[in-house]
Amino acid sequence: MQLRIERRMVPHIPWGLIFSVLAVAGLGIFNLASASRAQSSPVWTSQAIYLGVSLVAGIIVCLVDYRVLQRMALPIYILNILALLALRVIGHKAKGAESWFVLGPIRIQPAEFMKIGVLLMLAKVYHDDFKPGDGSYGLKRLVKPVAVVMVPFVLVLVQPDLGTALMIFLSSLTVILFGKVRWYLVAIMVAGILAGAIVIWNDYVRDVPEPRTTIVRHLLKAHQSKRISGWLDPESDLRGSGYHAAQSKIAVGSGGLHGKGWKEGTQTGLSFLPEQHTDFIFSVWAEEHGYIMCVLLLVLYGLVFTLGLGVGFNARDRFGAFVAVGVVAMLFWQVFENIGMVIGLLPVTGITLPLLSYGGSSLVSVMLSIGLLVNISMRRHMF
The answer to whether 368 touches 116, Cβ cutoff 8 Å, is yes
pLDDT band at 50 (very low <50, low <70, confident <90, very high): very high
Q: Which of 49-53, 152-156, 215-219, 283-287 has the lowest mean pLDDT?
A: 215-219
Burial of 348 (0-12, 13-18, 19+ CB in 10 A): buried
Residue-level pLDDT at 269: 66
Least confident of 34-43, 55-64, 162-171: 34-43
Mean pLDDT of the chain: 85
Q: Is the peptide bond before 42 cis (omega within 30 degrees of 0)?
A: no
Integer Cα distance of 358 and 255 in angstroms:
21
Is the Cβ–Cβ distance between 330 and 115 less than 8 Å? yes
Per-residue pLDDT tens over the stretch 242-289: 677 788 888 888 888 888 888 777 777 666 777 777 888 899 899 999
- pLDDT digit string, tens, across residues 329-381: 999 999 999 999 888 888 888 788 999 998 888 999 999 999 999 999 988 76
- Weakest mean pLDDT among 11-20, 49-58, 175-184, 270-279: 270-279
SS3 29: helix
- Residue 221 Ramachandran class (φ > 0 left, ψ -120 to 50 alpha, else beta): beta
Helical (H) or strand (E) element with 106: strand 106-108
Half-sphere exposure (Cβ direction) of 267: Cα atoms closer than 13 Å = 29
Distance between CA 184 and CA 286 in Å, rounded? 42
Q: Using 50, 70 and 90 to split pLDDT, how confident is the model at 56? A: very high
Q: Using CA atoms, how far apart are residues 367 and 59, in angstroms rounded to an integer?
A: 9
Distance of alpha carbon 29 from alpha carbon 21, whole angstroms: 13
Strands 106-108 and 92-94: unpaired
| pLDDT the model gives residue 94 | 65
Write the single-letter amino acid at 273. L
Higher pLDDT, 63 or 207: 63
Assess contact for 376 and 61: CB atoms under 8 A: no
Residue 369 confidence (pLDDT): 95
pLDDT at 184: 86
Q: What is the pLDDT of residue 303?
A: 96
Cα(341)–Cα(347) distance, integer angstroms: 6
Q: How many CB atoms lie within 10 A of CB 110?
A: 26
pLDDT at site 96: 60
Q: Is 203 exposed, middle or buried (0-12, 13-18, 19+ CB in 10 A)?
A: buried
Least confident of 51-55, 147-151, 276-280, 372-376: 276-280
The residue type at 127: H
Rg of the chain over all Cα atoms, to the nearest angstrom: 21
Please state, for a pLDDT cut of 70, what percent of the chain lies above it. Answer: 90
Per-residue confidence at 97, pLDDT binned at 50, 70, 90? low
- Cβ atoms 47, 353 nearer than 8 A: no
Q: Which range (118-127, 164-173, 223-232, 334-343) has the least confidence?
A: 223-232
* 3-state class (DSSP) for residue 372: helix
Q: Write out pLDDT tens, residues 209-240.
A: 777 677 777 677 776 777 777 777 766 666 66
- How confident is the model over 286-312, as pLDDT tens digits? 999 999 999 999 999 999 999 999 999
- Indicate whether 135 pLDDT > 70: yes
